[in-house]
Structure 1
Amino acid sequence: MKETPRIAIVGGGPGGLLAARVLHRHGIAATVYDADTAVDSRDPGGTLDLHADSGQIALEDAGLLPAFHALARAEGQAMTRRDHHGTLLKEFVPADGETSAPEIDRGQLRTMLAEQLAPGTVHWGHKLTELTTENGVHRLHFADGSTVESDVVIGADGTWSKVRRRLTDAMPEYLGVSFLDVRFDNVENRHPGIAALVGDGQLFATDGAGRAVIVQRNSNGIIRGYVAFRAEEDWAAQAGVDLADRESVREFLLREFHGWDLTVRPLLTDNDGDYVARAFTALPAPLTWQRVPGITVLGDAAHAMAPFGGHGANLALLDGAELAHALHEEPTVEAALTRYETAMFARTGHLAAASNEALRGFFADQPDGGQHEVPDREEELRAYETRAAEYRASRTPA
């Protein structure tokens, strides 16, 4: 850019941190503001598989692909499919050297990205409450009463983004499926039955009637994931379930998942810690908006979608890299933001729509008690490699 704008990134998740890292590698200053008091001040959630055609490309652009592979778990690409009786339906074991979509704990990824930024780049404990604009200057208002002025504001502030409200009235919608976060610690010793069911990677267990358990190996002997079911958004209140009372939740799950075999019931009842209730929400897809000078969003703030396909974090990382490249290569901020949004809309819209539709279909009743199909893992991995080659070729000057 011919300009030297002040750039504020709202949100210190993977997408926001990656954008800052690539901008800094281009010699462009940017500051990140995050509501958390520190990089590890809250539970970051479970694990992510970073795809060769998106997340890994972004990490390569940031110079962090070797650091990722040092932490990643290639064996986590394994996938096991079982019915609600525990019967093995399908199994995939990755070949030696398979690196198309290794797993990494969310906390490990976030810490790795934050540690690669210069001290002081991330301002922790800054919760955005409002974004205003006057005479072309954007002012960020934080919960502690402080304000910051910026020429460019990048919203990496998640599904309920406050920055996005300056671009569109679109809001996330409930997809009709709720879930409970579950966690099993020291599984080889405390939960050997669950460890055997899950294997080294991910387990899908379903009954064909809108109920599922989807869990994944994390590092340090932990298995995390969720118990999911079709329900009204206020299902707990309707069912009289006290979410703060584990026994109340367990009693509900045993009623809701009646008919599930004793071999798989520990996935429902043996949770270490409290159950955390969440709802699957997504933005309308495909979602676009008219340019607003100096403001854009990335990741879930731009295209929050159902988790089927595992695209969310991968697209957030790639968004961050592509936005940083555009700001470096285009002559003006507006040219850069226009280039970024045009490409981002085209890249993410169909994936978001397909992911949302896949979730609804997966939790629909199957006739005659049949089982829902899940993506073929081998085909997914080969597709990531093919698209990665195509993507790199498209970025190479003719």
Structure 2
Amino acid sequence: MHTPVTVIGAGLGGLTLARVLHLHGIPVTVHEAESCPSARAQGGLLDIHHYNGQLALKAADVMDDFHDIVIEGRQALRLVERDGTLVHESADDGTGGRPEVQRGELRQILLDSLPDDTVRWGHKVSGTRTLGEGRHEVTFADGGSVVTSLLVGADGAWSRVRPLLSAAIPAYVGHSVVETYLFNADTRHPATAKAVGGGMMIAPSPGQEIVAHREKADTLHAYVGLSESQDWFAAIDFGAAPAATARIARQFAGWAPELTALITDSDTAPVLRPLFALPTEHRWDRVPGVTLVGDAAHLAAPNGEGANLAMLDGAELAKALAAHPDDVEAALAEHEQAMFARGTGADTFEGGEVHGIDSENNTAQAMLKMFTGLGQGPDLSPAARPQAASTPLGSA
């Protein structure tokens, strides 16, 4: 089968690309390894930024639907020290530029905006190869294949399309997060619910942190971060939930109980998320007929920008293709030049350093000082927060 534009990956970046192409009348097919839209959980809250993610959603003409899923009040922020001391609190007054939505609901909006046959589910890529003259073949685990004159890898960190362009492999950044959930927290865990507040709570400490979001209703979704080696985590049996939870909790001995309850009282088994990144200056030479968007191109450990950049990559690529209908290579060159600059501009997280704060000084006071521009004012409203600090670990 031959298709004009083939996208690998039905995440936010690939679906935004497909939607904007559809609006411009450009045929596109998206191949996704998952068997159906509900095959797995889609993650927690995303803050969608006015300077990138929202621009992409405007290009996709889904802003009305986006506004319908915004969870009011979730841009509130609390900074606390490990002993529970409140260092700063800011309310969500509705003027912030980074409204919060559930990732799964946003993905569904994009899926619903496409013709039913756009996404081909259960198509796990087993290989890709260049055929010459800008054409590529993609083979799937079920034995099928497609040949395409334009291949776009929107397939994330471990992209099967990336090797056509680059030999780069994501590297572990020296830090991992463990996800937990507390349900009905206001009733069952009132002290922890109060500590988290109405939006996001950040409790940083050298080499570790606890970040929590209040999702819909009174569900608390926590990201417990540790600067440990992969071997250290490999020694923990995450299949034995109580023992794994206890092992992680021991690393937070001495922390306030209302904070450690986000570990010890989890209503779900802890899920390990090792953090990987591509080189900050990841580039490739132009290869006819193929390109990348999102994490496939510029994977960084969570810094609040990943999903937003992926969507903007997809929207901008689609617009470039629409602007150069007779010169695909000009469109791809334009897209990559702009995308490389965007990827470089996003702050990174490596070796236990959070948003430009070195690991040894990673405290709520240090984060407050960074947020306020080294003491140049107390404004920590959502609109005033630095770009890279808009959402910490686990929320990109």
Equivalence map 1:1-398=2 (5 Å)? 6-95=4-93, 97-136=94-133, 137-206=135-204, 208-237=205-234, 240-308=235-303, 310-330=304-324, 331-352=326-347, 354-356=348-350, 358-359=353-354, 362=357, 364-366=359-361, 371-373=365-367, 375-376=371-372, 378=380, 381-382=383-384
Cα distance in 1 for partners of 2:385, 2:217 equals 30
With normalisation by structure 1, the TM-score equals 0.89
Cα distance in 2 for partners of 1:119, 1:57 equals 25
| Equivalent AA in structure 1 for residue 367 of structure 2 | E
In the alignment, is the contact (CA less than 8 A) between 2:79 and 2:364 conserved in 1?
A: no
Residues 273 and 213 (structure 1), Cα distance of their counterparts in 2 relative to 1, 3 Å cut = same
In the alignment, is the contact (CA less than 8 A) between 2:6 and 2:152 conserved in 1?
A: yes
In the alignment, is the contact (CA less than 8 A) between 1:177 and 1:363 conserved in 2?
A: no
| Equivalent AA in structure 2 for residue 373 of structure 1 | M
Tell me by how many angstroms 1:121 deviates: 0.4
Cα distance in 1 for partners of 2:332, 2:309 equals 17
CA RMSD of aligned residues (A): 2.1
| Equivalent AA in structure 1 for residue 46 of structure 2 | L
- Of 278-287 and 374-383, more deviation after overlay is shown by 374-383
Cα distance in 1 for partners of 2:384, 2:360 equals 30
Identity %: 38
2:375 paired residue number: none
In the alignment, is the contact (CA less than 8 A) between 2:92 and 2:382 conserved in 1?
A: no
Cα distance in 2 for partners of 1:326, 1:119 equals 25
Q: Which runs of 5+ in 2 are unaligned?
A: 373-378, 388-396
Tell me by how many angstroms 1:372 deviates: 3.6
Cα distance in 1 for partners of 2:215, 2:364 equals 30
Tell me by how many angstroms 1:383 deviates: 7.0
Tell me by how many angstroms 1:47 deviates: 1.0
Tell me by how many angstroms 1:384 deviates: 8.3
| Equivalent AA in structure 2 for residue 381 of structure 1 | A
Tell me by how many angstroms 1:262 deviates: 2.2
Q: Which runs of 5+ in 1 are unaligned?
A: 386-398
Deviation digits for residues 342-364 of structure 1 (CA, Å, limit 9, x no counterpart): 11111221315x45485385461
- Number of matched pairs: 375
Tell me by how many angstroms 1:229 deviates: 0.9
Tell me by how many angstroms 1:379 deviates: 6.5
Residues 349 and 380 (structure 1), Cα distance of their counterparts in 2 relative to 1, 3 Å cut = farther
